[in-house]
Amino acid sequence: MKLAPQCLFPSLHKPNPSLPDKAKISANRLLPSSLLLLLLLSLGSIAQAQLPAGAIDTTAPPRTAPQDPLRAQANEALDKQDYPTALKLLTTLAETPPTDAHLLYDLAFAQDALDQTTAAEATYRRSAAADPTYFDPHLALGLLLARSGRLSDAHSQLLTATTLSTDNPALKARAFRALARIDQTSNPSAASDELLSAIKISPETPDDILLSGELAEASGDPTAAELAYRRLLAVDPQNHDATAALTHLLLHQQRPDQAEALLTTALAKDPDNPTLNAQLASLYEQQGKTAQAIPLAAKLHAAHPEDPSITRLLARLYSRNQQYDQAAPLYAALLAKSSQDPTLLDDSADVQIHLKNFAEAEVLLKRAVAQSSAFPTKEDLGQAASHLAFAASANNDPTTTLQALTIRGTVLPQSPSSLFLSATAHDKLHHTKQATDLYKQFLSVANGQFPDEEWEARHRLLTLEHLK
């Protein structure tokens, strides 16, 4: 599974609203909304790299100082990153017509730096409307919208920015890079062209190499992707994003030994890196090395107790290691924050079944199967329905058992277990004919695999025969 550090631990991290100086868009990359970690937990995919946030370039020559002393004070406040003062002064200046696109941009920038997102968006738009050829507000607005998750609107603003003139090629390159990030999943071919456009006008960065690998992977070219990741590691051996990306690729290609060697080498130099520890724990989980995975996941959980991906990984590992008493409180904590996740409900109920808390398990599973369309696959739904049938049977609730088996039957074929549960449910409801037929069907396919249940089925058939 491919995970960037920010994706390993899934909680959202906002970029620091404080921005350095006054004329450029910063290279800081956004962190998403779910640590990672984990990976977790499905070793399923590397989180996608995020879009850059906005800032200012101290190397850019300052604009000619205005004659208005209030404007000079505002510029001085911006240069000192005194955004509250700059905001107060610029707000006053912006109230006086005629409309000045550059002044509005400075005002929007101060609002953006103070995390006044709604106001900043409106003011960036006013700046762009005042001078449609002005590059800066389109770029800044595009990045703000991208940070807010409004990628379609962001794409439009950034695309406009790439068509406008600016005396700072690095800023136009930033617009192309942001477009590439937006198009990375939905249009990798366009993203590749946008990344190439950025590299043509500014030096290639490590993030560019990483993105080129991700785009190659998305385009179905794992060889090119691997070459890109290894090229980045050759120039920056401590680049954990590259290590994580290459690990994901190796696992996808069924090369777990190489992935494990890569991770252990990287962890020898950075033993507390959460992303790499999460990937190694998940790799061990896939290989059935639960005992080796648990210490890694427990260490991560101790460092990041609020990260749901890590908590879920550790709970799953405890469950697979039959440490159900350790898994139960972790699942309870997860359900307190995500009470409608059907697979989480199923996993938690499975632990309760093993702890013989059948009534509690039945309650959880009823909530899960009530959301049949929310399961990732029909097999997941079938598994939850099977668990519900078992829990209800153990809880002496034959009606719910039969309802659960009906749901199961819509997505999975009959099995010896489902036949036996159906037979006992009809038996408890005194449906003699149905119970007799199902017991016989069960015995015809059991073939000695379920000795206790087979003995019970034969015993009940004798009893039912005398009831006729």
Q: What's the whole-number mean pLDDT along residues 183-208?
A: 95
Q: CA–CA separation, 20 vs 25, rounded Å?
A: 10
**CA atoms lying within 13 Å on the CB side of residue 230:** 11
Say if residue 165 is exposed, middle or buried (CB neighbours under 10 Å; 0-12, 13-18, 19+). exposed
In the DSSP assignment, the letter for residue 164 is S
Return the pLDDT at 96. Answer: 83
Region of poorest pLDDT, from 59-63, 86-90, 174-178, 462-466: 59-63
Which residues share a beta bridge with 29?
A: 52
Alpha carbons 436 and 427: distance in angstroms, whole number = 8
Residue 51 · residue 157 · CB < 8 Å: no
113-159 pLDDT, tens digit each:
999 999 999 999 999 999 999 999 999 999 999 999 999 999 999 99
Q: Is the pLDDT of residue 174 over 90?
A: yes
Q: pLDDT digit string (tens) for 408-432?
A: 999 999 999 999 999 999 999 999 9
CB-CB neighbours of 306 under 10 Å: 12
**Average pLDDT for 329-358:** 96
User: In 3-state terms, what secondary structure has residue 9?
Assistant: strand
CA angle 45, 50, 55 (to 5 degrees): 165
Per mean pLDDT, which range of 51-60, 94-103, 191-200, 352-361 is the poorest?
51-60
Mean pLDDT calculated for residue range 321-334: 97
Return the pLDDT at 51.
42
Residue 3, pLDDT above cutoff 80? no
pLDDT value at 466 more than 90? no
What is the overall mean pLDDT for the chain?
86
Contacts of 346 (CB under 8 A, 6+ apart): 364, 365, 368, 380, 383, 384, 387
Check residue 63 and give its pLDDT.
52
Positive/negative CA dihedral, 57, 48, 302, 269:
negative
Instruction: Give the whole-angstrom CA distance, residue 449 versus residue 178.
Output: 59
In the block, which residue shows the tokens 């890079």?
177
The 3-state DSSP class for residue 299 equals: helix
Q: Which of 313, 317, 347, 310 is nearest to 332 (CA)?
A: 347
Please give the Cα distance from 320 to 299 (Å, whole number): 18
Q: Where are the alpha helices (DSSP H) in 96-187?
A: 101-113, 117-130, 135-147, 151-162, 169-186
Compute and round to an integer the Cα radius of gyration of the chain. 30
Per-domain residue ranges of the chain:
414-468
Residue identified by tokens 């505002």 is: 74
* Confidence band for 465, pLDDT divided at 50, 70 and 90: confident
Average confidence (pLDDT) over 55-84: 72
The DSSP secondary structure of 10-70, one letter per residue, reads -S--PPPS---SSSS---PBPP----BTTT-SS---PPPP--B-----TTSPPPPPPS-HH
Q: What does the block give as tokens for 243?
A: 């290590």
Cα–Cα nearest to 383, from 356, 359, 350: 350
With cut-offs at 50, 70 and 90, classify the pLDDT of residue 468: low
Q: Is 377 left (phi over 0), alpha (psi -120 to 50) or beta?
A: beta
